[in-house]
Amino acid sequence: MKTVLSYSLQFVMFIVGVSCVVIGQKTVGIQSLGIMLIGLVLLLSVLYRYNKRYQIS
């Protein structure tokens, strides 16, 4: 159950991150830049969580 919740959370974070980047790309301004940065942070956090499982210790 914990893995299903983790995968679901990562999937939602990925979709929200991509949506923020696409929405921010369509408009020009400081607010859209902030939206794009939030999307970038979400995408990088999903990538970090994915790669953390496969680290060689």
CB 9 within 8 A of CB 31: no
Q: Shortest CA distance to 9 belongs to which of 50, 38, 41?
A: 50
Please give the Cα distance from 2 to 20 (Å, whole number): 27
Output the pTM of the full model.
0.84
Domain boundaries, the chain: 2-49
Reduced to 3 states, what is the DSSP secondary structure of residue 1? Answer: coil
pLDDT at 27: 87
Query: What's residue 45's pLDDT?
Result: 95
SS3 state of residue 40: helix
Question: Residue 56 has what pLDDT?
Answer: 80
Q: pLDDT: is 34 or 3 the higher one?
A: 34
Maximum alpha-carbon separation in the chain = 44
Which band of pLDDT confidence, cut at 50, 70 and 90, is reported for residue 3?
A: confident
4-51 confidence digits (pLDDT tens): 898 999 999 999 999 999 999 998 899 999 999 999 999 999 999 989
Q: Are 18 and 39 in contact (CB under 8 A)?
A: yes
